[in-house]
Chain A
Amino acid sequence: MCCEPLPCLSFNKVYRSILLAALVYILLLTGLITLRGEFIALAIPFVLYLLYGFWSAPEILDLHIERRLSHDRITPDSESIVTLTVINNGSDLEELFLEDRIPPHLTVRIGSPRHLILLPKGSSYTFSYTVTGPRGSYSFETIRAVATESFGLIRREQTIQTTERLFIFPEFRRLKHVSIRPRRTRVYAGSIPARVGGTGTEFFGVREYQFGDSPRTINWQVSARHEENLYSNEYQQERVADVGVVIDARIHANLFHTSQSIFEHAVTAAAALSDAFLNQGNRVGLLVYGSYLGYTLPGYGKVQRERIMQALAHAEVGASSVFAGLEHLSPRMFPPESQIVLISSLVDDDLNVLVQLRGRGYQVLVISPDPVKFELGFLPPSPQVDLAARVIRMERDLLIRRLERAGIHVIEWDVSLPLDQVVGPILMRQRRVL
């Protein structure tokens, strides 16, 4: 929470009663021992205070609490309004403290999740507050209700378990079209050239006229050169493909100077690309490669989009040095000869693994957020920094050149610019490049 730390509610309530009771007994005992009525007289206000406290002590709480979220899926810059309605089914409550325990990292923008109210029997109270926060998945688990009498001597507490969840998905701008050309496509019609002749929009070749071919497809120029036969144009079939999006969540590839992380940009790119591939009708899977392998099995459509967004909301950087195990990808997750899109700032050790993947027939595309420019933005300018940046830049260029020589297309992304502006046009052009 952004607001001040939560004040301690308990104030040692039990000790308040004990202190008061102790004072009363000391005064009464002193009065008894010394046979002086003044002490007993002095004890009277304290006794009255204690008696009133015990007499008006709240009964066992019987509260019904409902929580509603205006939106349970938001982006980091947007807000969700949390509304709580409390119904008192028990006795009158003179002071009822309600605290909606919001998950850490969420920030309250308007209103407060804590209220101190008077709630008579059978009445209800509704309050709202707005929350926002960074990308993640947050569960609102408990609401704490503490009732005390006016003097705060006796208290009853009830913790209500709830199950609401708030997903804060990465915010991204939609990519209009991403051109990929994996070697193998699926049987369903889509937008990816399938390297197979048939019906489509792009010219594929010329073959002998077959019965049933539309007269429009007859290539008259070729047919004129061959008197005995007619020839028809053949177009490239367009189908959907399997696309595996791999997001690099290794610490040493994401965390840089003063714990600045490039990972959020990688997540944004993964979200935009997954969304684009799914919109094109492809079968998309996600692998978050951090301290463990977080798989989202391939699927189609809106449900898969939701699954991927949830996985991206949970994604965190983790400790793993190299892409160990990536060369042994499950065929279920990444069918052979399918398209793999890796989002990684790339480190030297990755070369061999990526070349191996390429060697196994995968079409590999790397979107690489530029770590050199990213880190330079946080470092004070100096000759040493410039020199180091040049050295690292050269190493990185060499790595990228080696990858491209192996048939892996690498797109560098300066994260200070939006993905759709920098990478989008290149991805759209790829249809012609590859």
Chain B
Amino acid sequence: MTLIALISSIVICCASLAYGFAQRGFTSFSIWILIFGAGWLFAVWQEWKWYSAVALFLATVASAFGLWFGFTPGWMFAGGIFALFAWDMSDFRQRLRLMAKDDNVRGIERRHLLRISLLALFGLFFASITMLVRVQFTFEWGVLLVFVILLGLGQLLGWLKK
């Protein structure tokens, strides 16, 4: 079940990005994205644990790039969200290997898939809402965002120091 979800999410992620890029004539980019997706699938087969982190970063950069150039946001969001989904699944798949044969693999798989799917749906929903309800990017919003970022960075540094 997990493997199917992982492969599906990689395929959807790469296909969405590639289609979104191809729509605007970036065919060569689309081909590179498909090659990258094939590499990701190959990494799953070869169990290269590091690849999923790199793939998540690259897929997010590609989505951001597409949004910057005004490509269809739906495809770009799908690319980013399913990259996150695939990244989570590849880690979850490794955790499942720790399970013994008589452990409740199905139960844990089902619960995890339900949560990550709901999260992806919520993410997609909120992102779509954000795109629909375009709020004026005021100075106050900017200050709030800077504050949140600094607070988060401070927390992160503190955590790393520990």
A42 at the binding interface (Cβ < 8 Å): yes
Q: Are B98 and A36 in contact (CB under 8 A)?
A: no
Q: Do A44 and B127 contact each other (CB < 8 Å), given the known contacts A25-B149, A27-B60?
A: yes
Task: Write the chain B residue with the least CB distance to A151.
Answer: B88
Inter-chain CA distance A94–B120, complex, in Å, is 20
- How many interface residues does B have (CB within 8 Å)? 56
Chain B residues within 8 Å of A48, by CB: 119, 122-123, 126
**B145 in contact with A41 (CB, 8 Å):** no
- Hey, what's the 0/1 contact readout for B106-127 against A, CB within 8 Å counting as 1? 0110011001100110111011
User: Would you call A150 and B98 a contact (CB within 8 A)?
Assistant: no
| Segment among B10-18, B32-40, B76-84 that sits at the interface with chain A | B76-84
B-contact bits for A253-288, CB 8 A (1 contact / 0 none): 000000000000000000000000000000000000
At the interface, yes or no: B1 with Cβ under 8 Å from chain A? Answer: no
- A49 and B99 CA atoms in complex are apart in Å by 24
Contact call A30/B77, Cβ cutoff below 8 A: no
Q: Once the chains are docked, how many angstroms separate the CA of A391 from the CA of B68? A: 88
Q: Are A16 and B91 neighbours in the complex by a CB distance under 8 Å?
A: yes
* Contact between A127 and B100, CB atoms less than 8 A apart: yes
Q: Chain A contacts of B102 at CB under 8 A?
A: 111-112, 127
- How many residues of A sit at the interface, in one of the four size bands? 35 or more
A367 within 8 A of B: no
Interface string of A106-138 (1 = CB under 8 A from B): 000001101111100000000100000000000
Contacts of B108 in A (CB 8 A): 95, 116, 118
What is the bound-complex CA distance between A31 and B64, given in angstroms? 10
User: Is the pair A152, B95 in contact by a Cβ cutoff of 8 Å?
Assistant: yes
Which A residues touch B67, using CB under 8 A? 36, 38-39, 42
Q: Is A32 an interface position by the 8 A CB rule?
A: yes
In the complex the two chains form, is A116's CB within 8 Å of B73's CB?
no
Please tell me which one of the listed residues B99, B112, B131 contacts residue A150 in the complex, with CB atoms under 8 A apart: B112
Contact between chains at A36 and B57 (CB < 8 Å): no
Once bound together, how far apart are the Cα atoms of A9 and B99, in whole Å? 11
Main secondary structure of the interface of A (DSSP, over half): helix
Q: Is the CB of A42 within 8 A of B63?
A: yes
B120 / chain A contacts, CB cutoff of 8 Å: 45
Residues A21 and B152 in contact in the complex (CB < 8 Å), given A7-B97, A111-B100 = yes
Among B60, B76, B149, B160: residue with most chain A CB under 10 A: B60
Question: Which of these, B99, B111, B116, B122, contacts A116 with CB under 8 Å?
Answer: B99
Could you tell me if A150 and B111 are in contact, using CB atoms closer than 8 angstroms? yes
Question: Per-residue CB proximity of B52-74 to A under 8 Å, as 1/0?
Answer: 01001100100110011000010
Q: Give the secondary structure class of B's interface.
A: helix
The interface residues of chain B lying within 8 Å CB-to-CB of A29 are: 149
Nearest-CB distance from B107 to chain A (Å)? 7
Instruction: Give every chain A residue within 8 A of B112 (Cβ-Cβ).
Output: 150
Contact A37 B124 (CB under 8 A): no
Q: Quote the shortest CB–CB distance from B133 to chain A (angstroms).
A: 10
Query: In the bound complex, how far is the Cα of B160 from the Cα of A15, in angstroms?
Result: 10
Contact A45 B124 (CB under 8 A): yes
Given A23-B60, A27-B60, A44-B127, is A115 in contact with B146 using a C-beta cutoff of 8 Å? no
Verify B127–A115 contact, CB threshold 8 A: no
Nearest chain A CB to B42's CB is how many angstroms away?
20
Task: Indicate if B92 sits at the interface (CB-CB under 8 A).
Answer: yes
Q: Is B161 an interface residue (CB 8 A)?
A: no
Are A39 and B127 in contact, CB atoms less than 8 angstroms apart?
no
Query: A329 contacts the other chain (Cβ, under 8 Å)?
Result: no
Chain B residue with the shortest CB-CB distance to A117: B103
In the bound complex, do residue B100 and residue A115 qualify as a contact, i.e. CB atoms below 8 Å apart?
Answer: yes
Q: Give A36 to B64 CA distance when docked, in angstroms.
A: 11
A211 contacts partner chain B, Cβ-Cβ < 8 Å: no
Is B156 located at the chain interface by the 8 A CB criterion? yes
The answer to whether B104 touches A25, judged by C-beta atoms less than 8 angstroms apart, is no
Question: B123 and A44: CB pair below 8 A?
Answer: yes
Q: Which residues of B contact A60 (CB under 8 A)?
A: none
CA gap between A44 and B134 in the complex, in Å:
15
Query: A45 touching B123 by the CB < 8 A rule?
Result: yes
Interface check A19, CB cutoff 8 A = yes
Indicate whether A36 sits within 8 Å of B111 (C-beta atoms), given known contacts A23-B57, A112-B100.
no
Q: Tell me the B residues contacting A by CB distance below 8 Å.
A: 49, 53, 56-57, 60, 63-64, 67-68, 73, 76-77, 80-81, 84, 88, 91-92, 94-104, 107-108, 111-112, 115-116, 119-120, 122-124, 126-127, 130-131, 134-135, 137, 142, 145-146, 148-149, 152-153, 156, 160
Q: Jot down 14 A-B pairs with beta carbons below 8 A, ordered by A.
A: A16-B91, A28-B145, A31-B145, A39-B64, A39-B68, A41-B73, A41-B77, A42-B60, A42-B76, A45-B119, A45-B123, A48-B122, A114-B98, A118-B104
